[in-house]
Amino acid sequence: MIVRDLKRLALVVGPLVVLLLLSISLWHSHTDYVRSRVGALLGNDANAPPSTDSHRKPKLTANETHYEIYSASSADGRFFDIQFGRNVFNPNIIPHQKINNTWIVVGQLWTDPNSNKPGNEVYEVGCVAQFINGVLMCIDYVHPLPYEPSPGGKCEGEISFYNLNVGPHDARVFFGPQNPLTIYGSNGGHTCFGQFIRDFRKMVDWEYELMTNTDFEKGIEIVRPPPFAVLEKNYFVFWDKDNEMHVHYDSYPERGYAKLERDGSTGPELATKTAEHDGKCLQRYLPKLPPKDESIHQATNSLKITLCNRADKTCEPHDGNTYILTIIQHKTYYEYHSEYDPYVVLFQQRAPYELYGISKKPLWISGRKHHKGRRTDMMYVTSANWKDRGVNYHGYLDDVVFLGFGFEDRNSAGIDVRAGDLLVGLGLCEEP
């Protein structure tokens, strides 16, 4: 299991920990490794990403098709690698519950499709990580996380092979107002492939917290209002102004969302109330799609954001400045290569949760490269979480967001960005 209270461990068995760190250093070529671990235990991590005095603001790319966003901490503004010690993609990053400059990272273990290994087992793995020489790196063992397999059996015809799947797919790990949760794909009880939700604290050693909210102790399938798609993917949940929980299962060409109950059931479809308004906004700002090879779909979890700075003493959240933020992506598939362009979406935190704004141009993560022909790096954004411990779900423009993304469906990377930078070039639905 993921290491829990490292600080407490240091206080109790400090000398043993130092000896262990010295032993571990024999396997690391960098002498800074031991210093970084001791610093972490003392709450003073010398390998935390350096702060920069000047804020590098987003700007249009040379061809003016995207807004380039930059790291809030790295000197060159580029994204950082996430190293699990093996090939892992589609990462999630959430702050460690006790230790500064330390995070829990979770991703899907890459398996070689050409291997002769029998079965279709899939694993989500995780670890505790810190920045070492500009890389977010696991500092304890990488473990498979105990996502529960589901029996399924609903896949028929040409997709019957999905019945052989064992294990979670494309997990999202994120904070709600109170505690972290995870949503993941698995064989469904209502359709071939469904979406499940579980309390993430039950899957790791989440110590020293009174668990007053005990919803979703086990993996529960989310049952959206029908009709079901054969393969349901990439649901996200959001909490409204009264902290009522809802699930958002479609974003394009029409939105779909409903109130989520504790047993995984949902209330009536709510998006019909805003369909006309939202449809105009989606068509206005998102690219027009050809008949094939392109699509738009949900990508990340949600965050709540107030559009003023936390440092501003006059900043008070209310319905006129606080919204739900998520990221959707425009996918293209040409020359047997997928590419993804992320768009930020804001919608209201109060019923009926209509759209407020969408990026006029997609975001370009600094460090993404062009290649010969039309190809660029495949970077699939999977998670958006507040970087600092204790922020949980609701942040402000001057708070920093960690974006985690898969790189070419094999590796993991991320970038830390001021939340306000994600809203560059936001087009408002009510603009004339």
DSSP conformation letters of 345-382: EEEESSTT--EEEEESS-EEETT--B-STT-B--EEEE
Lowest-confidence range among 44-48, 379-383, 425-429? 44-48
According to the model, what pLDDT value does residue 293 have?
95
pLDDT above 70 coverage of the chain, percent = 84
In sequence order, the 6+-apart residues with CB closer than 8 A to the CB of 17 are 9, 10, 41
Identify the CA nearest to 270 among candidates 279, 258, 253, 281. Answer: 258
For residues 285 and 267, give the distance between their C-alpha atoms in angstroms, rounded to a whole number.
29
Mean pLDDT, residues 225-241: 96
Tell me, letter by letter, the H, E, C secondary structure of 220-248. EECECCCCCCCECCCCEEEECCCCCEEEE
Q: Does residue 329 contact residue 297 with C-beta atoms inside 8 Å?
A: yes
**Token pair in block for residue 421:** 């930078």
The single-letter DSSP state of residue 202 is G
Asked if 407 and 391 touch (Cβ cutoff 8 Å), the reply is: no
**Average pLDDT of the segment spanning 25-33:** 35
Residue 74 token pair: 């790295």
Q: What does the alpha-carbon distance between residue 385 and residue 408 come to, in Å, rounded to a whole number?
A: 22
Distance of alpha carbon 422 from alpha carbon 141, whole angstroms: 33
pTM: 0.86
Length of the chain: 432
Q: How confident is the model at residue 426 (pLDDT cuts 50, 70, 90)?
A: very high
52 CB burial (10 A radius; 0-12, 13-18, 19+): middle
Give the residue from 18, 15, 50 showing the smallest Cα distance to 37: 18
Q: What is the pLDDT of residue 117?
A: 54
Q: pLDDT value at position 393? A: 98
Average pLDDT over residues 405-416: 94
Identify any residues that bridge with 183 across adjacent strands, giving them in sequence order.
172, 197
Structure tokens at 193: 């492939």
Tokens of 316: 């008070």
Secondary structure (DSSP) of 130-188? EEETTEEEE-S--EE--PPP-------GGGGGGGGEES-EEEEEEE-SSSEEEEEEEE-
Confirm if 343 and 363 have CB atoms less than 8 A apart: yes
CB 187 within 8 A of CB 196: no
pLDDT tens digits, 130-170: 999 999 999 999 999 999 889 888 999 999 988 988 889 99
Q: When comparing pLDDT for 131 and 98, which is higher?
A: 131
Q: Residues 410-418: what's their mean pLDDT?
A: 96
> What's the chain's average pLDDT?
87
Distances (CA, A) of 252 to 20, 190, 290, 407: 52, 22, 14, 24
User: Any idea where the domains of the chain sit in the sequence?
Assistant: 54-78+295-432
| Tens digits of residue pLDDT in 37-80 | 333 433 434 444 544 447 899 999 999 999 999 999 888 999 99
User: In this predicted structure, which of 50-54, 171-175, 393-397 has the lowest mean pLDDT?
Assistant: 50-54
For 310-339, write each residue's pLDDT tens digit. 999 999 999 999 999 999 999 999 988 999
- What percent of the chain has a predicted confidence (pLDDT) above 90? 74
Here the tokens at position 155 are: 């896949």
User: What pLDDT score does 18 carry?
Assistant: 37
What pLDDT shows up at residue 119?
Answer: 53
Instruction: Kindly state the average pLDDT of the residues 360-364.
Output: 98
**Does the pLDDT of residue 35 top 70, yes or no?**
no
- pLDDT higher than threshold 60 for residue 25: no
Backbone angles phi, psi at 195, to 5 degrees: -120, 135
Asked whether the predicted pLDDT for residue 33 surpasses 70, the reply is: no
The answer to whether residues 353 and 270 touch, using CB atoms and an 8 Å cutoff, is yes
